Amino acid sequence: MQHPPASSWSAAPVLAALLLLVGTTVLFLVLRRGPAEPAGVASVGAPGFRAVAEVIGRSVEGRPMVCYQYGNGPRALLIKASIHGTEGAGTPLTLRLMEWLDAHPETWKNARIFVLPISNPDGLEALKRFNAKGIDLNRNFPAENREDSARFGQAALSEPESRALHDFILRIQPDVIVAIHQPLVCVDYDGPAPAEALARRMAAATGLPLNKLGARPGSLGAWFGETLRRPILTLELPRTLTNDPDRLWSKYGPALRELVENPESWVLSLTGADGAGGADGGRSRSGSGN
Ligand SMILES: [Zn+2]
């Protein structure tokens, strides 16, 4: 597998400063509220102030994985970012999304929106793709196509971060997941309808091409999409833009807002297709990225 070297990442100093801010904010929220306190009690104006914050797990080095829940309706959407620490653009993008959710509570009053801005806290801190043990977390899920290895982990869910995310997903049962990665510059999907239709909408709204990459072995997409047969979208952002939250939000925010505002689209087939969704296209592919 090819992995982009950290040195190719020109925005590292700016993002490092941003992540320090993010980390401080998250830490503040965690310390201030703790995982069990009710929503909206503190930090008005900080991203997530109307949400219920929950520490869903901790990284190898003990950093919290904080997920924010908006609303308590029957349908659920999970948007998660930065499972690869060198693909951090999803973090400022999801923080902007949370600012928007804070300002527009009418959009989530009949749904549950879960936002996980940092899925690999140690990797993001170190600006490395992997977790602190050198494992690719997005190859560590118990998908049918998983491969045991030193890089993917010697067993499924060998890592605390992937275990936390796995258990959280089984608990909240999201209708749809959006995973934000870089730098493949496309919208990808796995699983049955409405995955393909939603991916087409997202591609149209972002200007990114729809590109069926195939489920990587042991990836979240392979597990949730192909093994559990549930819809999951992968938003693959360009490698540039990492240092520009405003540009990220203006370009990719509308697609996320459209998804959030239309919970009926999470469960209905928008195409009338049979739901196969091209699911077998390269399911065992093991190329780079994603
Ligand atoms: Zn990735």
Residue 277 lies in a domain: no
Residue 278 lies in a domain: no
Residue 150 lies in a domain: yes
Is residue 183 reached through a cis peptide bond, with omega within 30 degrees of 0 on the bond before it?
A: yes
CA of 134 to the centre of ligand 1 (A): 14
CA of 47 to the centre of ligand 1 (A): 24
Residue 280 lies in a domain: no
CA of 43 to the centre of ligand 1 (A): 31
- 68 three-class SS: strand
pLDDT of residue 285: 43
CA of 48 to the centre of ligand 1 (A): 24
Name residues with Cβ closer than 5 Å to ligand 1, which is an ion: 84, 87, 181
Each of the 290 residues of the chain gets a pLDDT tens digit; together they read 444 444 444 444 444 444 445 544 444 344 334 333 444 444 788 999 999 999 999 999 999 999 999 999 999 999 999 999 999 999 999 999 999 999 999 999 999 999 999 999 999 999 999 999 999 999 999 999 999 999 999 999 999 999 999 999 999 999 999 999 999 999 999 999 999 999 999 999 999 999 998 889 999 999 999 999 999 999 999 987 566 889 999 999 999 999 999 999 999 765 444 444 443 333 334 445 67
CA of 24 to the centre of ligand 1 (A): 24
pLDDT of residue 33: 40
pLDDT of residue 290: 73
CA of 123 to the centre of ligand 1 (A): 12
Domain housing 202: 6-266
CA of 33 to the centre of ligand 1 (A): 31
Residue 283 lies in a domain: no
* DSSP per position, 256-278: HHHHHH-GGGGTS-SS---S-TT
203 contacts 209 by C-beta, under 8 angstroms = yes
User: The domain spanning residue 12 has which CATH number?
Assistant: 3.40.630.10
Residue 262 lies in a domain: yes
Residue 259 lies in a domain: yes
Residue 96 lies in a domain: yes
Q: Model pTM?
A: 0.82
Number of domains present in the structure of the chain: 1
233 contacts 197 by C-beta, under 8 angstroms = no
Single-letter residue type at 16: A
CA of 214 to the centre of ligand 1 (A): 13
pLDDT of residue 29: 42
User: How many other C-beta atoms lie within 10 A of the C-beta of residue 38?
Assistant: 7
